[in-house]
Amino acid sequence: MGNIIYRRKKDSKENNGSRSRRIGGRSQRKMAAEEELLHRQALSMVLHQHQLSQRFDGSMSRRIGSTSSRRHTDPLANNEKKVVESLENIKFRRVVLIHGEGFGAWCWYKTIAQLEEVGLLPTAMDLTGSGIDLTDTNTVTTLAEYSKPLIQYLEALPEDEKVILVGHSSGGACLSYALENFPEKISKAIFLCATMVSNGQRPFDVFAEELGSAERFMQESEFLIYGNGKDEPPTGFMFEKQLMKGLYFNQSPTKDVALAMVTMRPTPLGPIMEKLSLSPEKYRSGRRFYIQTLDDRALSPDVQEKLVRENPPEGVYKIKGSDHCPFFSKPQSLHKILVEIVQIP
């Protein structure tokens, strides 16, 4: 814009200023329009593509990310070629992304596009009763039922194939369950501000310090859902929107929060109240990594630190300025860490 100003010497400073502002305004409007298109595509996929598979395959994620990756400046662009080359010799390139409570495969749309751009093979799936899976949440009573899409995926893998699992929030319980039952299918397990529980512990116990005891929560919580009637035990829970915004999205972009508000679903209660049986031979021998989020109000940094101390993983990473949803609030930082972990021999 400076060149335009000085090239047109006959123009007054005022005219040049207005011209500069007009050009800047057009540029800002163009970027806003492209961002709006990106989110509209994500919304459309989540809300209207029920006839598709539960998984976001490569073509879907590529369609979501194409506009952004082509037209916006990517802070990692200068290093992307080097990263792609360094990943060429990685044996296990499949990255399976598991969402947390209330979320679905849709929440990984930025992460999927970024991982694909460096040559990895990401897959995000809806757990039972989540995302666009039509199962009634109230009928999902066990962690095995809740994790069924992941288990089916692992069962279908070729014998010589392994995957890298990434689990967010309560989705960490599904990672633990998978590590215990399919250790030979998992190259690395990455817990993203997640419930990395110990043997005999319930996923809910991890949140107990934030929400109160399980017993008190079950007796007093206004967010419980009674799918079988008030006289029967609760079957699920869902926070109201304003509380959800404060807990999960205190650093996330407004449009990602809007996407979540129209897409999140109730969480089945049974799976997070189930005690896990985890053995040293299987679960404890798996390669576990933990990513901490340091501005997290749903699972505080202190609680995450406690999880790491009590159940030490192979590596610990931290994302500054991230809320409970780094795939929204700090996608580039999350991507960089995921790629780094993938490359660990």
Q: Is residue 217 part of a domain?
A: no
pLDDT number for residue 221: 75
- Residue % of the chain over a pLDDT of 90: 65
Model confidence at 57, in pLDDT bands (50, 70, 90)?
Answer: very low
Which candidate in 169, 176, 187, 252 is catalytic? 169
pLDDT of residue 44: 52
Q: From the candidates 296, 322, 323, 335, give the one annotated as an active-site residue.
A: 296
CATH at 263? 3.40.50.1820
Q: Which is the catalytic residue, given 99, 168, 324, 335?
A: 324
Average pLDDT over residues 175-192: 97
- Position 88 in a domain: yes
Q: Is residue 54 part of a domain?
A: no
Higher per-residue pLDDT: 64 or 82? 82
Among 94-98, 205-209, 213-217, 233-237, the range scoring the smallest mean pLDDT is 213-217
Whether residue 29 lies inside any domain: the answer is no
Mean pLDDT of 102-129: 97
Look at residue 278 and tell me if it is in a domain.
yes
Structure tokens at 190: 């990455």
Least confident range of 29-33, 169-173, 179-183, 293-297: 29-33
pLDDT at residue 259 is higher than 90: yes
pTM of the model: 0.78
Does residue 71 register a pLDDT over 70?
no
What's the structural domain count of the chain?
Answer: 1
Domain with 306, as residue range(s), is: 84-211+240-343
Output the pLDDT for position 222: 83
Instruction: Flag whether 292 is in a domain.
Output: yes
Residue 111 lies in a domain: yes
Find the range with the poorest average confidence among 75-79, 162-166, 294-298.
75-79
Tell me whether residue 324 is one of the annotated catalytic residues: yes
Position 226 in a domain = no
